[in-house]
Amino acid sequence: MPQLATRALGTVEINPAENIQFPDGLFGFSDVREFALLGERPDSPFKWLQSTARPDLAFIVIEPHLFLKEAYRPVLMRSDLEQLKVEKVEDCTIYLIVTIPRDHPEKMTANLQGPILVNTDERIGRQVISGDDAHVVRVSIMDQLEG
């Protein structure tokens, strides 16, 4: 299997057939279009969305159902679904980008406003903006788990 150099996990083996194509890239990284979804540990709810072209570019992500108290369903434009080649949001796996402050990991947050949706059958991903005003940029993961 091919190997991928990463800053966070060192060198890891990947299956190119499992890579996710982002035709429009991610917000702020429109030129980076292929990522691998990597798990550091099997028991961790967090994954790394790692660029296959840039070892220095990776995002920590989490599926919302693993920590949110209430169901999360982003409000999308029809064109988002069309580009993902799906009929409805439920046809995708949803990931939220996690921000972990260096000195205060207990203050980690997830971005509900800019979720990443992945059509796992087609291996296509897209970062979108949720049209739900209640979906904020930073929601505390620890507060959700504790409350």
Interval 75-133: pLDDT, tens: 999 999 999 999 999 999 999 999 999 999 999 999 999 999 999 999 999 999 999 99
Pairwise CA distance, residues 73 & 3, whole Å: 35
Is 115 exposed, middle or buried, given 0-12, 13-18 or 19+ CB atoms closer than 10 A?
buried
Mean pLDDT of 49-53: 97
Mean pLDDT value across the chain? 94
Give the count of domains, the chain.
Answer: 1
Given a contact cutoff of 8 angstroms between Cβ atoms, the answer to whether 88 and 81 are in contact is yes
User: pTM of the full predicted structure?
Assistant: 0.94
- Spatial distance between the Cα atoms of 1 and 130, rounded to a whole number of angstroms: 37
pLDDT band at 7 (very low <50, low <70, confident <90, very high): confident
Q: How far apart are CA 102 and CA 42, in angstroms?
A: 23
Q: What is the CATH number of the domain that holds 59?
A: 2.30.290.10
> pLDDT value at position 131?
95
Banded model confidence at residue 43, pLDDT cuts 50, 70, 90: confident
Range of the domain at 80: 3-146
pLDDT confidence of 8, banded at 50, 70, 90?
confident
Q: What pLDDT is stored for residue 146 in this prediction? A: 81
For range 16-45, the mean pLDDT: 94
